[in-house]
Chain A
Amino acid sequence: KNQVEQSPQSLIILEGKNCTLQCNYTVSPFSNLRWYKQDTGRGPVSLTIMTFSENTKSNGRYTATLDADTKQSSLHITASQLSDSASYICVVSDRGSTLGRLYFGRGTQLTVWP
Chain B
Amino acid sequence: EADIYQTPRYLVIGTGKKITLECSQTMGHDKMYWYQQDPGMELHLIHYSYGVNSTEKGDLSSESTVSRIRTEHFPLTLESARPSHTSQYLCASSDGVGSTEAFFGQGTRLTVV
Contact = CB atoms under 8 A, between A and B. Distances in A.
A51 B99 contact: yes
A49 B49 CA distance: 23
Contact of A99 (B6, B97, B106): B97
Contacts of B104: 36, 43-45
Interface in A44-81: 44-46, 49, 51
Contacts of A100: 94, 96-98, 100
B106 A31 contact: no
Nearest to A4: B42
Interface centre among B33, B40, B96, B102 (most CB of A within 10 A): B102
Contacts of A36: 104
B97 A31 contact: yes
B48 interface: yes
Interface of B: 2, 6, 31, 33, 40-45, 48, 50, 88, 90, 92, 94, 96-107, 109
**Nearest 6 CB-CB pairings of A with B:** A100-B97, A43-B104, A104-B42, A104-B43, A106-B42, A44-B104
